[in-house]
Chains A and B, each alone.
Chain A
Amino acid sequence: MTTEARLDFLPSRDGTIRLSLSGRIEVEHLATIAAPLEDFPLPASGGSLVMDMTAADTLDTAGAIMILRMERRCAAAGIAFSLSGLHNSAAQFLAHIRSIGEEKTPPPPIPHPVLELLERTGRATFHLLAEIRDILGFFGMLSITLIQSLRHPSRLRGGAILTHMEQVGLNALPIVGLLSFLIGVVLAYQGADQLQKFGAELLVVNILGVSILREIGILITAIIVAGRSGSAFTAQIGTMKVNQEIDAMLAMGLSPIEYLVQPRIFALVLTLPLLAFYADITALIGGATMCYMSLDITYDQFLLQFQNFIKLRTLLVGLVKAPFFAFAIAMIGCYQGLKVSGSAESVGRLTTKSVVQSIFLVIALDALFSIIFAKLHL
């Protein structure tokens, strides 16, 4: 018994082309014979072709299809095709495969590249506008339900809020702490380097205080949280969408907004200010450490300078932004999660999108706040 499939071209007799297939005509052995058979030149003059299958041990679907393709090519070229020596069961099988039909749908047409570029640009613009509209709509709907649930606090799901606070807040402490400490170190070093030239080392404390408390602390925290928790929100809700869990909730009369979105929003709005405050402190500690090590400013001097020049207002101006950033991050995270459709791939795509959009929103809001605070002379 041969193990591999073989294709042999036998000498033709009386104008009849004779081919022989032997061995196991199965999909894993087809590679060697399919290409020669596909490329076999058929004479234009008609005539007949006999495929001898006496030595073929087995035949599977792929093998049968290969033979049927040959049969069809012969028919198209006006050549009489016949099989010889086929086992009974194989003949039946071939007939079965032939009977299931050859109906095919052509793949969707590939459009002209320039037209496609135009079409895609148009589509993208349209999607962008539609998305802005939808996010605004989602924002409106959320605001209404949030106000409603604030009027009936008993409907708030306290347990879920606490769980999410743990995930987005407590579990983020190490990474937020480490990064803001390092940022404090870097800022202090850069500031010190410049100020030393004027002999005004001590002013580095003012620079650190103002920049960290007003901007850096909250921005760093918001960006970390957007990458960590905004993406998690999208992935969690998106996976539920893929598993039809959201459909199940709707069918049971449970509101996904109330059960999934609200707890996440409340949790983040409550947690981000705390996290930002924590980041402020660790960044300042980082800065103070750097000052002590490279500028010989002792911790006492640092604190004294800090107390004299930094006002409580500076801290508050920074922290007041936190709930707004939190709302934006949680809203985008949940919105993109609910937009997931069908496939696992769309979970991935929308998770990326949610991070990009929430970071964008955070920075845009920050710019807006800067303008407002400047007008208010804060």
Chain B
Amino acid sequence: MTEPPVISIRGLVSRFGSHLIHDGIDLDVNRGEILGLVGASGSGKSVLLRCAIGLMPTTAGHIEILGHVTGQMGDNEAKTLRHHWGVLFQDGALFSSLTVGENIEIALKQLPELPAALVTDIIHAKIALVGLPADAVHKYPSQLSGGMRKRAGLARALALDPDILFLDEPTAGLDPIGASAFDELILQLRESLGLTVFMVTHDIDSLARICDRIAVLVDKKLIVDTLPHLLEIPHPWVHDYFHGPRSHAAHIGE
């Protein structure tokens, strides 16, 4: 690999008041890679994601995305960089006063203007892409189910065909068929767009099927490796995670 990593985190420390969340995190994500982040509830996965995209100030450390050091960017640089990533928040975070279609449109509006008919087609394609029914386009988020809101959030994250996709528990709340279709979609997008995916997930099936490497957040630090290597790690939490009954059901660690 001659190409520098797309996401590069060095020595990240973050805290809420006196509550230390991360204590020296190092992580590299390469182009075209799908990285899964796992860890116990409340271990700071969502916070790590928020730090990476610059929504939360860090106490120490260096975060570089696509060659830009987040945290010391000018407004314009930050804005352009933000067109190159899409974020799906844990609870969707759709704009509740806009329809699903308008939620996607608002992302497209940041670019130089495109013909209206093309924009409409793009919106419909994104909605079909994430497996939402076509009539969802005119619905408000409050009229959708939890899983549909998740898909709508993904459609919005994909609006600008980003290089990097940050996903916070994308398959939580999807039915198993929908979840595996989602995995399929991520693979397909990676294939065609060279998408890099950083995803927080508890879905053992996704981890096994689509993640190239897995980062485990334990004891405020990251252990990053491929699944077969992680299975060998003696750390008790990591061992329990990958050798639990659910992992066995997914035919991992047997």
Annotate B98-124 by CB proximity to A: 1 below 8 A, 0 otherwise: 000000000010011111011011101
How far apart sit A362 and B97, CA to CA, in the bound complex (Å)? 31
Q: Which of B114, B117, B137, B142 contacts A341 (CB 8 A)?
A: B142
* Interchain CB contact under 8 A, B111 and A28: yes
Given the known inter-chain contacts A31-B114, A35-B115, please indicate yes or no for A61 contacting B134, CB distance below 8 A. Answer: no
Total of A-B residue pairs, C-beta within 8 Å: 98
Given the known inter-chain contacts A28-B160, A105-B135, A105-B138, please indicate yes or no for A38 contacting B115, CB distance below 8 A. Answer: yes
* Interchain CB contact under 8 A, A69 and B134: no
Residue of B nearest to A89 (CB): B192
How far apart sit A307 and B219, CA to CA, in the bound complex (Å)? 75
Q: Which of B113, B125, B138, B141 contacts A61 (CB 8 A)?
A: B125
* Interchain CB contact under 8 A, A97 and B125: yes
* Interchain CB contact under 8 A, A343 and B129: no
Decide if A317 is an interface residue (CB 8 Å cutoff): no
Decide if B78 is an interface residue (CB 8 Å cutoff): no
Q: How far is the CB of B190 from chain A (nearest CB, A)?
A: 11
Residue of A nearest to B118 (CB): A34
Q: Which residues of A contact B191 (CB under 8 A)?
A: 89, 92-93
Decide if B59 is an interface residue (CB 8 Å cutoff): no
Decide if B161 is an interface residue (CB 8 Å cutoff): yes
Residue with the highest number of chain A CB atoms closer than 10 Å, among B126, B128, B143: B128
Decide if B188 is an interface residue (CB 8 Å cutoff): yes
Q: Which residues of A contact B108 (CB under 8 A)?
A: 27
* Residues of A1-41 contacting chain B, CB below 8 A: 26-28, 30-32, 34-35, 38
Annotate A25-68 by CB proximity to B: 1 below 8 A, 0 otherwise: 01110111011001000000000000000000011111001101
How far apart sit A97 and B193, CA to CA, in the bound complex (Å)? 12
* Residues of A157-203 contacting chain B, CB below 8 A: none
How far apart sit A68 and B125, CA to CA, in the bound complex (Å)? 11
How far apart sit A101 and B131, CA to CA, in the bound complex (Å)? 11
How far apart sit A32 and B158, CA to CA, in the bound complex (Å)? 21
Given the known inter-chain contacts A38-B115, A103-B134, please indicate yes or no for A90 contacting B96, CB distance below 8 A. Answer: no
Q: Which of A69, A93, A342, A344 contacts B118 (CB 8 A)?
A: A69
Q: Which residues of A contact B129 (CB under 8 A)?
A: 61, 97, 100
Annotate A57-85 by CB proximity to B: 1 below 8 A, 0 otherwise: 01111100110110000000000000000
Given the known inter-chain contacts A101-B128, A103-B134, please indicate yes or no for A31 contacting B121, CB distance below 8 A. Answer: no
Q: Which of A26, A65, A93 contacts B122 (CB 8 A)?
A: A65
How far apart sit A320 and B184, CA to CA, in the bound complex (Å)? 70
Given the known inter-chain contacts A103-B134, A105-B137, please indicate yes or no for A342 contacting B192, CB distance below 8 A. Answer: no
Listed A/B pairs (10) with beta-carbon separation below 8 Å: A31-B111, A61-B125, A62-B122, A69-B118, A90-B192, A97-B129, A100-B125, A101-B128, A343-B141, A344-B96
Give A contacts to B, CB under 8 Å: 26-28, 30-32, 34-35, 38, 58-62, 65-66, 68-69, 89-90, 92-93, 96-97, 100-105, 107-108, 242, 341-345
